[in-house]
Structure 1
Amino acid sequence: MDVIDFDLSSREFWAQSQGERAAAFERLRRLDAPAFFEEIEIPWAERGPGYYALVRHADVVGASRNAKVFSSGQGGATTIPDLPEDFVEYFGSMINMDDPKHARLRRIVSRAFTATMVTQLKDQIAAVSTQCVDQLLDAGSGGDFVDLVAARLPLKIICDLMGLPDSEHQYVLDRSNVILSGFDPEYAGEDPTETGLKLLNAGMELQQLVQDLAAERERNPTGDLTSALVHGNVDGEKLTMQELGSFFILLLVAGNETTRHSISSALHLLTVNPDVRAQLLADLDGRLPGAVEEVVRLTSPVIYMRRKLTRDFELNGHGYREGDKVVLFYCSANVDETVFPDPYRFDITRDPNPHLGFGAAGPHFCLGAHLARLEITVLLEELLRRVPTIEGADPVRLHSNFINGIKHLRYTL
């Protein structure tokens, strides 16, 4: 029997290299049953009872499809500790809810994210992508690809959708960096107590920003998403101001950060796999969709979501008790050897590719998956047509157990 001598709850584990972490998850996937880990002490939340790590593709899919048993609303899905009440006000979005409340909110906002609506954004995404590549070329070699391109595109699209002016974009980016900072001292500070306060302040400031905008759109509506949500009515239901603020924070997490890190990772993967770059450039139109899916699979921008059992239940031969916590590790499920042959190979022709980079099928599947795919596709097409030899070196990774991110990526043309 393999003796597990590492701790998924520790900050030190998530400071290790990608290869070291991958080897640890390989060991977990070989176990007869999901491993159990204790929760660590953090200043801003009560210490919980621990959790089972779901690391196999079949387990993550099974839990995702059975949302009535594997609850997102009992303490939240985006943190392993239960969210304290003062955090729920700012981070209690629909991703941290169960039906029927989750279904109500998703029904209201989903009309803005249909495939048809997202396709209508293609011209805007193309224009912003052109601006980003223009700025990259003007800056020349040696700049930070994340700052100039990867972070700029999804941020501007989300902020423009909501109707926030360009003058507010940096303000939004700075606070979203704090919210998704994990353990990273560059954004959240060294002291865990300080981190909790920064998280609360960032959430409060973003909520206030969008609520002020919503109050203005209530008086003077325009054609932006904020106006549509303030004045929208689906079966007699509307978003409250608090729900609108939490939804905006969710948009930043799901619609901004994940796309940003997929774009950065795409450049890194194409740099360290020159043969794949050549294969892609030989048929950019035909192979780009498969390349985008493979980037998202290997990147797994969101590392995990957490669930809590509403009753005793058996999943794939392992029994759980009511109140147990399970953590769905997408980063491990996406390289499960039983599903993905040669799982660490960057294979842009992989077919089928049932990755869980946007979550698994179920009520919490990513609402913005269409938008994310479109943004990544349009940006990479613009970049590789105009700068086919660009390379990104020495990625500086985010120290986080929640977001698999690249903070900085120097490029050469």
Structure 2
Amino acid sequence: MTTIDLSDFEGFWAKPLDYRHAAFDELRARPGLPFFEEPEFGSLPRGRGYYAVTKMDDILFASRNPGTFISGKGNATPVDMPEEFLGQSMISMDDPRHARLRRIVSRGFTNKKIKSLHGNVAQVAKEIVDEVIDRGEVDAVEDIAAKLPLRIICDMMGVPEASRQFVFDQTNKMMGVQDPEYVPEGEDAFEALFKAVQELTNLLNGLAAERAEHPTDDMISQLMTAEVNGEALTPDELAEFFILLTGAGTETTRNAITWGIHLLTKHPEQREAWLADLDGVTPTAVEEIVRWTTPVIAQRRTIAEDAEPVELSGQLLVPGDKVMMYYWAANRDPKYFTDPAGFDVRRDPNPQIGYGGPGPHFCLGAHLARLEIGVMFRELLTRIPDLHSTAEPARLTSPMINGIKRLPVAFTPGGAR
């Protein structure tokens, strides 16, 4: 595998998962940090290239040192985005601006708030199974996995039901800009991404205008008036948070659920172990699905211009150097995981970083994602226990999201009411 090229979107990232696992195992075993030229991304210029960080220890170190490994130069791709595109998004911010926004929006994701959502999540999961239980064959993505996080996030934000398919479609385009199905050959990937972001921004602006006239108890209304230490969100910041929430809050959870269904099909003994002790196994099973899946494959950091040179795995990094932190690889680091390629719903301990590394950018919605995944599988396992995939997943071609576009599944119609 001496020709591994992580910048080859349609080559490397379209290969079978076993190949990808083996490639990252090799990269992790190499001395230093492998270096790659930047990929082409639409009309944007290519920069100086990036280092691939694949070891758990290195990613933990970078995550815990946000003053050196900054996000403000870009978070999702090694290609430098225009300053105006980075805009107000929390995910591409550093402190103190990041801390300010997180203080304001985190009030919607406290432990108390997430616990209060349990009943609604359980009811939505029940309704989703009610809708498919007599059909016997469905698509796991569109008919099951995507519906739960989409409905919960839209309910929280106050997005009307008539707009939810639109949110789903724009999120697909936003997260799938490297996939030919979403951005056909000849189209500019950056322009497609910008358009999807703008469409969601327009939706939020319209909803915000309505809430200004007629406030409700949804998160849009709350965030429009929320203040922490006298600070509030600007309209642009509110729009960017909405986009981040609809993307990160729906895409990652739906992929974890879909991959989980496929994994239980491939490992029926794990399904039986989970069913035999639903309450005891659900917490560890959710963590293992997230570890094995790692829905967010990677994030970028850049060495700050005012930082001292820093060393990772023997590689000296200087200001301006870019690193891609491959959570996918770290979640299979043999130093941290016994049988890292295996799938074990009772794995314990499980120090996975599928929600990001420790530090200011740890996923704000991690508790909500855990709740949604656990509740959805409890509903599936108890009501349609023979649910199984009938073909291999149609995978998203992406270096950022370990996505599934379609997964046909079958089960005995009727199930448990």
- Cα distance in 2 for residues equivalent to 1:364 and 1:44: 29
Equivalent residue number for residue 277 of structure 1: 271
Match of 2:343, SS state, is coil
Q: Is the 8 A contact 2:177 2:192 kept in 1?
A: no
Residue 90 of structure 2, aligned match among 80, 90, 94:
94
Cα distance per residue 1:344-375 (max 9 Å; x no partner): 11111111100010001101000000000000
State yes or no: 1:148 paired with 2:146.
no
Distance, in Å, in 2 between the alignment partners of 1:241 and 1:121 is: 26
Partner of 2:55: 56
Higher mean displacement: 197-206 or 359-368: 197-206
C-alpha separation in 2, matches of 1:41 and 1:286? 47
Structure 1 residue 100, shift from structure 2 partner: 0.4
Residues 178, 202 of structure 1: 8 Å contact kept: yes
Q: Which residue of 2 aligns with 1:410?
A: 408
Percent identity reads 49
Q: Given that residues 122 and 375 in structure 2 are in contact (C-alpha distance below 8 angstroms), is that contact kept between their aligned partners in structure 1?
A: yes
Q: CA deviation at 1:332?
A: 0.3
Alignment deviations for residues 137-164 of structure 1 (CA, whole Å, 9 cap, x no partner): 13x1232111111011100110111001
1:45 aligns with 2:32: no
- State the distance in 1 between where 2:39 and 2:216 align: 47
CA distance in 1, matches of 2:312, 2:33: 11
> What CA distance in whole angstroms lies between the structure 2 residues aligned with 1:189 and 1:244?
31
Among 117, 120, 123, the residue aligned to 1:124: 120
C-alpha separation in 2, matches of 1:157 and 1:190: 34
Instruction: Output one character per residue of 1:108-145: Cα deviation in whole Å (capped at 9) or x when no partner.
Output: 1000001110110111111110111011113x123211
User: What's the offset of the Cα at 1:44?
Assistant: 3.0
1:151-207 deviations in whole A, cap 9, x for unaligned?
1110011011100110000000000000000421222222351x3222111111101
| Cα distance in structure 2, aligned partners of 1:219 and 1:232 | 16
Q: In the alignment, what sits opposite 1:336?
A: 333
Specify the alignment match of 1:73 in structure 2: 72
Unaligned runs of 5+ residues in structure 2 are 412-417
The number of equivalent residue pairs is 406
> 2 CA distance for matches of 1:385 and 1:123?
17
Q: Return the alpha-carbon distance in structure 2 between the equivalents of residues 301 and 44 of structure 1.
A: 27
Q: How many angstroms does 1:306 deviate by?
A: 0.2
CA contact (8 A) 2:71 2:94 kept: yes
Q: State the Cα distance separating 1:6 from its structure 2 match.
A: 1.5
The answer for the alignment partner of 2:106 in structure 1 is 110
Task: Please give the alpha-carbon distance, in whole angstroms, between the structure 2 residues aligned to 1:184 and 1:43.
Answer: 13
One-letter amino acid of the counterpart of residue 21, structure 1: R
- What is the TM-score normalised by the length of structure 2? 0.95
Contact 2:327 2:354 in 1 (8 A): yes
Map 1:332-371 onto structure 2 (within 5 A): 332-371=329-368
SS at match of 2:137: coil
Instruction: Provide the C-alpha distance between the structure 2 equivalents of 1:86 and 1:323, rounded to a whole number of angstroms.
Output: 19
**TM-score, structure 1 length as denominator?**
0.96
- Partner amino acid for 2:89? S
State the AA in 1 paired with 2:16: S
CA contact (8 A) 1:44 1:84 kept: no
State the AA in 2 paired with 1:266: G
Structure 1 residue identity aligned to 2:273: Q
Distance in structure 1 (CA, Å) of the matches to 2:296 and 2:177: 12
Distance 2:186 2:233 in 1: 36
CA contact (8 A) 1:182 1:402 kept: no
- CA contact under 8 A between 2:55 and 2:333: conserved in structure 1? yes
* 2:258 aligns with one of 264, 288, 301: 264
Q: 2:399 aligns with which of 392, 398, 401?
A: 401
Question: What SS is found at the alignment partner of 2:181?
Answer: helix
* Rounded Cα–Cα distance in structure 1 between residues aligned with 2:60 and 2:43: 31
1:309-358 per-residue CA deviation (whole Å, 9 max, x = no partner) reads 01211234432111100000000000011110100111111111000100
Which whole-Å CA distance do the structure 1 matches of 2:280 and 2:40 have between them? 50
Query: Structure 1 CA distance, aligned partners of 2:238 and 2:294?
Result: 27
**Secondary structure of the equivalent of 2:51?**
strand
1:10 aligned partner, one-letter code: D
Poorly superposed stretches of 4+, deviation over 6 Å: none
1:18 alignment counterpart: 17
Q: In structure 1, list runs of 5 or more residues that go unmatched.
A: none
Q: SS where residue 268 of structure 1 aligns?
A: helix
Match of 1:224 in 2: 218
Instruction: Output the CA distance in 1 between the equivalents of 2:319 and 2:100.
Output: 26
1:300 aligns with 2:322: no
Please identify, of 206-215 and 165-174, the stretch whose mean Cα deviation from structure 2 is larger.
206-215
